């Protein structure tokens, strides 16, 4: 199958690309100049790459023409955490980028388009359904909400076969070390203090492999154009519980300093998904338990830590 992917160097995009390649698909990536390809290591000979930025409408249109896809996976986005990313960058990448892709796909009525949305579009809430009001509390969340509306507009006005997966908190091997779970694991491995808030904010975490499966199902199931599906575990877990469980699985190498940091005024305190729609229409639900997902993530970080230590020893 001919597949076009944006955001293929990210955590989810790269894992999805690996699966598509393993299944024998013909994969073309849109990759901007300077993008970090580390997660795609070893796949270079099996991929087609088109150099271009999702914010560049001409580049996106040209890439789509060359790829001539049957399926499009749209994961190009900005990271959630870094405060150095400007509001303009969020809006240009997420909103304008989505519009550029939609315009490039006009007339391709049989192409299935699966886009990565975000629970940030909802703001705070428990057991959120897809028809919950969009009340984002961040610029990124507002951008994701706008992109969601663009996708739904494209389904109605352009008759494009769009479907959006609203991701809650994916995690797994190779996640950026600034994120909660990898930061906690890496700090413990290095014996660094883990300074945190009271940790009462709840997050709905879902393992990477389960998220990739959701994308694959969304591309193949006969669902209505413009559909939206929440992808999470369906359970909100307090951050302090996540950190405590990681410490349990690692043998308590350090003691987290709970309450050492203030809780941000704009912190989302509750976030969990109702995943009934994904179960019903995609035949999807997470298969990986929290403990299994954390064990696999810890094992990956331990391998990286061992490799780094070996390299440092060799260069002494």
Domains defined along the chain, listed by start: 2-170+207-231 (3.40.50.720), 180-202+235-271+289-314 (3.90.25.10)
What pLDDT digit, counting tens, does each position of 134-183 carry? 999 999 999 999 999 999 999 999 999 999 999 999 999 999 999 999 99
* Token pair listed for 174: 């190779």
pLDDT in tens, the chain (316 residues): 999 999 999 999 999 999 999 999 999 999 999 899 999 999 989 999 999 999 999 999 999 999 999 999 999 999 876 678 899 999 999 999 999 999 999 999 999 999 999 999 999 999 999 999 999 999 999 999 999 999 999 999 999 999 999 999 999 999 999 999 999 999 999 999 999 999 999 999 999 999 999 999 999 999 999 999 999 999 999 999 999 999 999 999 999 999 999 998 878 899 999 999 999 999 999 999 999 999 999 999 999 988 775 554 444 4
3-state secondary structure of 124: coil
Give the pTM.
Answer: 0.94
237 is written with which tokens?
A: 């877990």
Spatial neighbors of 210 by CB under 8 A, at least 6 apart, are 231, 286, 287, 288
Residues 10, 192: Cα–Cα separation, whole Å: 27
| Sign of the torsion angle spanned by Cα atoms 189, 190, 191, 192 | negative
Which runs of E-coded beta strand occur in the chain?
2-6, 26-31, 48-51, 71-74, 112-118, 125-128, 161-167, 169-171, 195-196, 202-203, 205-207, 227-231, 237-238, 257-258, 271-273
Coil, helix or strand for 225? coil
206 Ramachandran zone, left/alpha/beta (phi>0; psi -120 to 50): beta
Cβ neighbours of residue 309 closer than 8 Å, sequence gap 6 or more: none
Instruction: Classify 5 in phi/psi space as left (phi over 0), alpha (psi -120 to 50) or beta.
Output: beta
């Amino acid at each position: 199958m001919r597949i076009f992917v944006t955001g293929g160097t990210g955590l989810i995009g790269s894992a999805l690309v690996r699966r598509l390649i393993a299944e024998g698909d013909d994969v073309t990536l849109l990759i901007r100049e300077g993008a970090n390809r580390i997660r795609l290591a070893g796949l270079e000979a099996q991929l087609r790459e088109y150099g271009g930025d999702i914010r560049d409408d001409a580049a996106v249109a040209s890439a789509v023409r060359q790829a001539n896809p049957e399926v499009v996976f749209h994961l190009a986005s900005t990271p959630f955490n870094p405060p150095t990313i400007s509001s303009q960058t969020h809006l240009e990448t997420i909103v304008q980028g989505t519009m550029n892709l939609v315009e490039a796909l006009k007339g391709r009525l049989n192409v299935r388009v699966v886009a990565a949305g975000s629970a940030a579009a909802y703001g705070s809430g428990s057991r959120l359904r897809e028809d919950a009001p969009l009340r984002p509390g961040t610029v990124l969340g507002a951008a994701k909400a706008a992109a969601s509306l663009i996708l739904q507009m494209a389904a109605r006005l352009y008759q494009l076969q769009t479907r959006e997966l609203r991701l809650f908190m994916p995690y797994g091997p190779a996640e950026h070390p600034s994120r909660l779970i990898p930061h906690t694991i890496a700090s413990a491995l290095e014996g660094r203090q883990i300074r945190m808030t009271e940790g009462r904010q709840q997050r709905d975490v879902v393992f990477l492999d389960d998220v990739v499966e959701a994308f694959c199902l969304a591309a193949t199931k006969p669902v209505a154009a413009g559909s939206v599906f929440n992808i999470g575990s369906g359970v909100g877990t307090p951050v302090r519980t996540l950190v405590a469980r990681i410490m349990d699985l690692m043998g308590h190498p350090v003691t987290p300093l709970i309450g050492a940091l203030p809780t941000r005024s704009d912190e989302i305190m509750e976030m969990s998904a109702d995943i009934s729609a994904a179960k019903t229409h995609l035949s999807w639900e997470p298969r990986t338990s929290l403990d299994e997902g954390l064990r696999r993530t810890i094992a990956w970080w331990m391998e990286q830590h061992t490799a780094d230590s070996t390299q440092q020893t060799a260069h002494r």
